[in-house]
Amino acid sequence: MAAIHLKQVRKTYGRGAKAVDVIHGIDAEIADGEFIVMVGPSGCGKSTLLRMVAGLEEVSGGQIVIGDRVVNELEPKERDIAMVFQNYALYPHMSVYENMAYGLKIAGLPKAEIDDRVQRAAAILELGALLERTPRQLSGGQRQRVAMGRAIVRKPAVFLFDEPLSNLDAKLRVQMRLEIQKLHASLRTTSLYVTHDQVEAMTLGQRMIVMNKGRAEQIGTPAEVYARPATTFVAGFIGSPPMNLLRGKLAADGAAFEAEQGGERGTIRLPQPAAAAGHERIWGVRPEHLLPVFDGSPAQLALDVELVEALGAELLVHGRCGGQPLVLRCPAHLRVAAGQRIGAAFGPADVHWFDAQTTHRL
Ligand SMILES: Nc1ncnc2c1ncn2[C@@H]1O[C@H](COP(=O)(O)OP(=O)(O)OP(=O)(O)O)[C@@H](O)[C@H]1O
Ligand SMILES: [Mg+2]
């Protein structure tokens, strides 16, 4: 096993006038045995970074260290890594056993060693009864497990995953998510896992790297990233629905925030006066921390309800305040309808402030 150290890693595609910078200098240390998730929107550079770690893509700047070796110039096969892709293309004419054994056979391992490794991996992944089948005779989830098995048998120092579950349906994804957690609990192999699914990001990793446009916006445990997002981008990316973010200005006495956009205004009374009265700010509160208040109980803001989504266990109440969208996550039994104006309250600890210009957390 091995730690991974990314030092100012950069990537530029193309040359001269056609050069495009896609990774702008990423620093990250992944501990030996750690499971870290890289999450971010499409095109932010996740696959590019992963492929540079794998050796499938040249590094334009900086260093990638695996264990105690700088691997920038090493061939993929010299890096002691195994990768699982979204399109895990198994050999269709080979059995499950042969699919898993193939790489080891090529590497020239003795037959008994190959058999031992395949049987162990099959046991871990519960593929023992399927070893004679061909991929076509398997379900999507079973195929995914074979792809995983192919990586496990190599006993690499590092696992790299690029959206391995995105071709599966919702139920299978949940199952495979649990499988991957169990797998890491038993093997403890250093893992770098790419996804744009924030549930996977929250549940799979010990830490996550939130990427945006080729930069690491925040690196932290899921709990830290949820509780203290470093920027409005992170606040709007992690959490479902994402954090409410309203632009506006702090009142002269700091006791209220005037949400304002397109000439519309909404006053938000603050449970705790804010510093820097009069400044432009972005106010953030998560949908689950905004509590609806009825019967004229004191409220801190008023919301014009536009749409109510009943999700079974809860309601999502969509509305507007100060000309900007706002969502509340409420218990399912509440009676709220579009067209109503309702009040909402929140506690002092639930408010996140961001700089209106830099969008950084204050
Ligand atoms: N070979 C290439 N030449 C030029 N640009 C490329 C090349 N490969 C990727 N890019 C660009 O680099 C950026 C990052 O791409 P990358 O595939 O790493 O994104 P991603 O985060 O994995 O996205 P997704 O979630 O859609 O898989 C994108 O803007 C993409 O268009
Ligand atoms: Mg990708």
pLDDT of residue 168: 78
Q: Both tokens of residue 214?
A: 């080729």
Instruction: For residue 45, give the ligand 1 atom closest to its CA.
Output: 18
Residue pLDDT tens, the chain, 362 long: 799 999 999 999 998 889 999 999 999 999 999 999 999 999 999 999 999 999 999 999 999 999 999 999 999 989 999 998 877 789 999 999 999 999 999 989 999 999 999 998 898 888 999 999 999 999 888 888 899 899 889 889 999 999 988 877 888 788 888 888 988 998 899 999 999 888 899 999 999 999 999 999 999 999 999 999 999 999 999 998 999 999 999 998 889 999 999 889 999 999 888 888 889 999 999 999 999 997 777 789 999 999 999 999 999 999 999 999 999 999 999 889 999 999 999 999 999 999 999 999 99
Q: How far away, in angstroms, is 361 Cα from ligand 2 center?
A: 28
Residue 273 Cβ contacting ligand 1 at under 6 Å = no
Residue 58 Cβ contacting ligand 1 at under 6 Å = no
Residue 60 Cβ contacting ligand 1 at under 6 Å = no
Count CB atoms within 10 A of the CB of residue 191. Answer: 25
Instruction: For residue 41, give the ligand 1 atom closest to its CA.
Output: 25
| Burial tier of 21 (Cβ tally within 10 Å: 0-12, 13-18, 19+) | middle
Instruction: For residue 196, give the ligand 1 atom closest to its CA.
Output: 25
Q: How far away, in angstroms, is 72 Cα from ligand 1 center?
A: 20
Q: What's the pTM?
A: 0.91
Asked if the bond preceding 135 is cis, omega within 30° of 0, the reply is no
pLDDT of residue 359: 96
Q: Both tokens of residue 28?
A: 């990250």
pLDDT of residue 23: 97
Residue 278 Cβ contacting ligand 1 at under 6 Å = no
Q: Which of 46, 58, 210 to mutate to test the pocket of ligand 1 (most atoms within 8 A of CB)?
A: 46
* Nearest CA-CA partner of 304 in 340, 269, 263: 340
Are the C-beta atoms of residues 264 and 322 closer than 8 Å to each other? yes
Residue 48 Cβ contacting ligand 1 at under 6 Å = yes
Q: How far away, in angstroms, is 43 Cα from ligand 2 center?
A: 7
Q: Is 211 helix (H, G, I), strand (E, B) or coil?
A: strand
Biggest CA pair distance of the chain: 78
Give the closest ligand to the alpha carbon of residue 22.
1
Give the closest ligand to the alpha carbon of residue 209.
1
Cα 359 to Cα 362: distance, rounded to the nearest angstrom: 9
* Nearest CA-CA partner of 360 in 218, 182, 262: 218
Cα atoms found within 13 Å of the Cα of residue 330, Cβ hemisphere only: 26
Residue 42 Cβ contacting ligand 1 at under 6 Å = yes
Identify the H or E element spanning 198. Answer: helix 198-204
Q: How far away, in angstroms, is 262 Cα from ligand 2 center?
A: 37
Place of tokens 């896992």: 193
